[in-house]
Structure 1
Amino acid sequence: MPTLDDVRRIARRLPGSEERATTGGAAWFVRGRLYAWECHPWPSIPEDMREVIAAELVVGVKVAEPLDAQALRQMSPGVFLRETTRWGEPKVAFRMGRIEPDHLAELVTEAWYVQAPKYLRREFEASGR
């Protein structure tokens, strides 16, 4: 089962990425823009989703378009939570205990890519990582 240390390992290889501790847990930013975070059961989240987040490790990531989040939810409803809050859209939250390691790496990297400035995306692409 992937852990936050796996997210940290993935994030460390992304140019300009930094981890910060927030009131909700660990969060990753690129040049001040949030791209991945440990979900916290905030009161504004629907009760059924709050129960899942309180019971297990859930991570949220930015996605390029709302349709991307919708497609992920439809493809794997046991992994991806339905909408949690309107804050930070477009995004998707997923259960770490049910995500495949390769898919985790893809989600975190794509979230970084969505938020990263063009010069960092070019640097990443040039590195062949």
Structure 2
Amino acid sequence: MATLDDIRAVAARLPGSDERATTGGAAWFVRSRLFAWECHPWPSMPDAVRALCAAELIVGAKVADRLDALALVEMEPEIFLRTTTPWGEPKVAFRMAAIDGEHLAELVTEAWRVQAPKYLQREFDAVG
């Protein structure tokens, strides 16, 4: 089962990334732009999603566009949630208990890329 420490390890390798405590839990930013966050059962969520967020660790991550989010949900519905809240689109939310470490690292890195400025992306790509 993946943990928030696994996200911390991935984020630590991403230039300009920092973790902040928010009212919703842990969140990761690159140059003040949110790219991944711990989901909590907000009243604005559909009931089934709110219940799931209350029962297990769910993480949200930015994606390039809505089609990417829909594709992830369609390919792996046991990992990815159909919806959380209408804010912060495009994004995807996923069950940490169901995701493997490699897939988690890919999602967090791609979420960072969506939000990171080009110069940080080039820095990351140069290291490698």
State if a TM-score over 0.5 links the two structures.
Answer: yes
- Aligned-partner SS, 1:125: helix
What's the counterpart of residue 105 of structure 1?
Answer: 105
Q: For 2:69 and 2:100, locate their aligned partners in 1 and report how far apart those are by CA, in whole Å.
A: 17
- Aligned-partner SS, 1:83: coil
Q: CA RMSD in A?
A: 0.4
What's the counterpart of residue 49 of structure 1?
Answer: 49
What's the counterpart of residue 92 of structure 2?
Answer: 92
Q: For 1:124 and 1:86, locate their aligned partners in 2 and report how far apart those are by CA, in whole Å.
A: 31
What's the counterpart of residue 62 of structure 1?
Answer: 62
- Aligned-partner SS, 2:54: helix
Instruction: Give the Å deviation of 1:85.
Output: 1.2
Q: How does 1:1-129 map to 2 (within 5 A)?
A: 1-128=1-128
Counting aligned pairs with the same residue, the percent is 72
Q: Count matched residues.
A: 128
Give the AA of the match of 1:17: S
Instruction: Give the Å deviation of 1:83.
Output: 1.2
Deviations 1:18-48 (A, max 9, x none): 0000000000000000000000100000010
Deviations 1:47-96 (A, max 9, x none): 10000000000000000010000000000111100111110000000000
Structure 2 unaligned regions, length at least 5: none
